[in-house]
Structure 1
Amino acid sequence: DCSNMCHESSGSALNPTIGIGKGTVSLEDIHDSELIFVVGQNPGTNHPRMLSALKECKDKGGKVVAVNPLPEAGLFNFKDPQTVSGVVGGGTPLADEYLQIKVGGDLALFQALGHLLLAEEARNPGTVVDLSFVEAQTDGFDAYREARGELDWAETEKATGLDRQQIEDVAGMLIRSKATIFCWALGVTQQPHSVDTIKEMVNVLLLQGNFGKPGAGACPVRGHSNVQGDRTMGIWEKPKEWLLESLDKEFGIESPRHHGYDAVEAMEAFERNEVDVFVSMGGNFSLACSDTETLEAGMQRIGLTVHISTKPNRSHVVHGRTSLILPTLGRTDKDDKHSKGAQFLSVEDSMSVVHSTQGRLAPVSDHLLAEPVIVARMAEATFGPDHPVDWKAMAEDYDVVRDHISRVLPGFEDFNTRVRTKNGFVLPNPPRDTRSFKTDIGRGRFTVSPLEYLSPPKGHLVLQTIRSHDQYNTTFYGLDDRYRGISGGRRVILVHPEDLAELGFQDRDLVDVVSTFRGQDRQADKFRLVAYPTAKGCAAAYFPEANALVHKENVAR
């Protein structure tokens, strides 16, 4: 479940606070926002289409605050290749303010921003906090206000690596903004205390009523459609009872009620020899997870590994005792070998828009099958021809699948008709649509979290992992990272020049890297040091090369 590996923290924070595990903004909201925070995210490499949306916001007078340990090129000088000025001009600086925060310091930052907003409201009542919204639609405000009444600025500066004045300047931008969006990605969600960090971001949004109005809201940015769409479809190791009941009613089956494993629990089950069959549909599990050596040893204990893949990857060679690789069509391939004719798929983007997608390329082989066909045939072979689910009908005609979805999942009524419209359709989103919150108490929820940040032992740095410009998830297409000025290799560690000097190293030194976690060491050999203007006290290395340094128990809580 790729949601479990990328944005599980977002759902865990958003569901109890605003009642939905997704973003609450549209593309038009980004265009119309007065202030956008881009936190722990590098749109230039990972979400390039977002840069043009940020530029439109800027063109309309909006402001952008970048919060990132690394100064990412796309936010400082964006050249839109689809415009004449972008091709021949000097580009557009997108970030009005850049907060070079320490890795893991975001929780402290948003606690400080909440403190400053409340302090300004106390000085000038009615000018900052949307009290009518807070009183009518939220719960927990009094406890939150009390918790943020005082702030230890010395510890805040230590946690964030930022000056008090920088934080106060950005708080001033928040105070002046009447429509603010917080965007974030894996730089936030992969922290140990990421759930509390995102809840703190929600607190600040709730304070000013930044839900259900144009140009405002929460925006967890997913990298591709599966990360959001698969969870919407109910792909989760702990499905809700209402979904299981709906599936049982639709298909005449009895779904199992015991919970399954998340990604880390699956790794632990591999180690205990408790997994007989592991099926991976897409992805590259051995390089997508942490603790590479432990994971790969566990995968080789499995009885049968099955990989449904569009291209070869590392997981195929660290297989179980028996292994199958089932090549499949990619989303850009034609899927036209069906009795009902050519088929199309449907996807959901980060804005909760569901639309169709259909491949146009000729497949590399006539023998390739589409993923829905492979899954349906596996199911039919497993359960037999007398099973109540008509697997063959779904494999031959994806409209049958969508008809089932329309009767199982709220918001997908008349699915087949609406998905065929030009722009698809938008799923219901109560915080955005009606300024309401489907939490267990029917209100948005302020929360109080203790201050937590990463404080390494003397002589150590805090490591973050990153992707290069020419990389898609675990797949990289070259050894150059042109936006960061690195070429010819990926086994590099980016370290601030002052940290290099203090630790007794020089730019381009070849080193072995040791990580420590709960008294255990992990080592990765032969990395090249690169002097780079990252946040002091921090270092950065490419994913998946540095995965071996990350202990499997170092997870978001």
Structure 2
Amino acid sequence: MAMPDHERAFPAMRGLELSVHVGTKLNRSHLLTAKETFILPCLGRTELDLQASGRQSITVEDSMSMVHASSGKLKPASSMLRSEPAIVAGLAKATLPASKVDWQYLVEDYDRIRDLIEQTIPGFEDYNQRIRHHGGFRMPLPPTERIWPTATGKAMFSVFKGVHENVVVEGEDVMRLVTLRSHDQYNTTIYAMDDRYRGVFGRRDVLFMNEQDMAAQGLEHGDRVDIHTALPGSALTLEDITVVAYGIAPGTVGAYYPEANVLVPLNYLDEESGTPSYKSVPVRLTLRSKEIRPLAGGR
């Protein structure tokens, strides 16, 4: 799960009066129930979405800022499955009976939703027409055209204060934990257990560590350790993780997100953005076992 500090976050989630999940498949978050919980399965992007006006398409933006239409072709896994827009519209209609928005009208034809987006967000002119062209269209990004919407008309650089602005935790054995994503992963969705970028296959319970740091702490490739958050008042631990020798920066260790989120304290945030410290958590390691499991390493 994406949230940090599960020991504090999970009880808070369980105390909610209501939680509603919309998903294409079951995941870990569905086990975290509120006093009343609904799990609403929905159509996937590859499944055919038929509404009152016919076959529908949604729009997606890729990592190159290209916006294009996406329409499923496969027979839905169940005739009872509804699309995400249909579910949201249904919830809104049931929750807000006096709403000025005609939710049913919108969900009957997704072009109508895009018409409203066009009226609201600059850069989406002729939205429905442009997504029907092969490849779609590119989102306007002024900096890529050397256009800077600043008072001077030029790019403005911000100077980073440096890593020393972080809370300093004393101790030679203290490392900085960075959470990482694998090759076969998108956000918290894990499609497979392999990470060909780093030479790890079939598992995710690993800790990437510089060989100099391993030697300093008496560890070897394949050793199993427990990881402990090294902050005052924190007792967060991730148990039985296998050390992998890897070319990571000295003083730094890496573990997979979201599994390592249990080590991120809820109140250890970036002061300016409020972002949890997923990339800089002070931790200590304790040896658990030298019994080696089968492991492909990333030396």
Structure 1 length-normalised TM: 0.45
Per-residue CA deviation, residues 134-174 of structure 1 (Å, 9 max, x unaligned), is: xxxxxxxxxxxxxxxxxxxxxxxxxxxxxxxxxxxxxxxxx
Q: Note the residue ranges of structure 1 that are not aligned, 5 or more in a row.
A: 1-286
Secondary structure of 1:354's partner?
Answer: strand
Give the aligned residue type for 2:161. P
Q: Partner residue of 2:150?
A: 439
Residue 329 in structure 1 maps to residue 14 in structure 2:
no
The one-letter code sitting in structure 2 at the alignment partner of 1:410 is: P
Whole-angstrom CA distance in 1 between matches of 2:159 and 2:227: 37
Kindly tell me: are residues 448 and 524 of structure 1, through their superposed partners in 2, closer, same or farther at Cα, counting changes over 3 Å?
closer
Match of 2:226 in 1: 512
Please state which structure has a larger fraction of its residues in helix. Answer: 1
Question: Per-residue deviation at 1:463?
Answer: 1.0
CA distance in 2 between partners of 1:428 and 1:527 (Å): 44
Query: Which residue of 107, 114, 127 maps to 1:395?
Result: 107
Q: What is the identity, as a one-letter code, of the residue corresponding to 1:533? A: G
Distance change >3 Å, CA 437–CA 359, structure 1 → 2? same
CA–CA distance in 1 between the matches of 2:157 and 2:209? 37
Matches within 5 A, 1:298-337: 298-336=12-50
Within the candidate set 450, 465, 468, 2:161 is matched to 450
% identical aligned pairs: 42
Q: Deviation of residue 522 (structure 1)?
A: 1.6
Aligned-pair CA distance for 1:513? 1.0
1:92-241 matches, within 5 Å, as: none
Structure 2 equivalent of residue 353 of structure 1: 66
Alpha carbons of 1:402 and 1:306: their partners in 2 closer, same or farther (altered >3 Å)? same
**Pick aligned residue for 1:340 from 53, 58, 73:** 53
Greater fraction of residues in strand:
2
For residue 373 of structure 1, report the CA deviation from its aligned partner: 0.6
The answer as to whether partners of 2:169 and 2:231 remain within 8 angstroms in 1 is no
Q: Distance in 2 between matches of 1:554 and 1:324?
A: 32
CA distance in 2, matches of 1:513, 1:390: 52
Gaps of 5+ in 2: 273-299
Taking the aligned partners of 1:494 and 1:392, their CA distance within structure 2 comes to 51
Write the mapping of 1:493-532 to structure 2, written as runs, cut at 5 A. Answer: 493-517=207-231, 519-532=233-246
TM-score by length of 2: 0.82
Pairing 1:362–2:75 present: yes
Cα distance between partner residues in 1 of 2:194 and 2:129: 45
Asked if structure 2 preserves the Cα contact closer than 8 Å seen for 1:456 and 1:462, the reply is no
Deviation for aligned residue 1:383? 1.4
CA RMSD of aligned residues (A): 2.1
* 2:267 is the counterpart of 1:553: yes
Counterpart of 2:116 in structure 1: which amino acid? Answer: H
Question: How many pairs does the alignment contain?
Answer: 268
Separation of aligned partners in 1, 2:151 and 2:265: 35
Output the CA distance in 2 between the equivalents of 1:544 and 1:511.
Answer: 18
Work out which of the residue numbers 445, 468, 471 in structure 1 matches 2:185.
Answer: 471
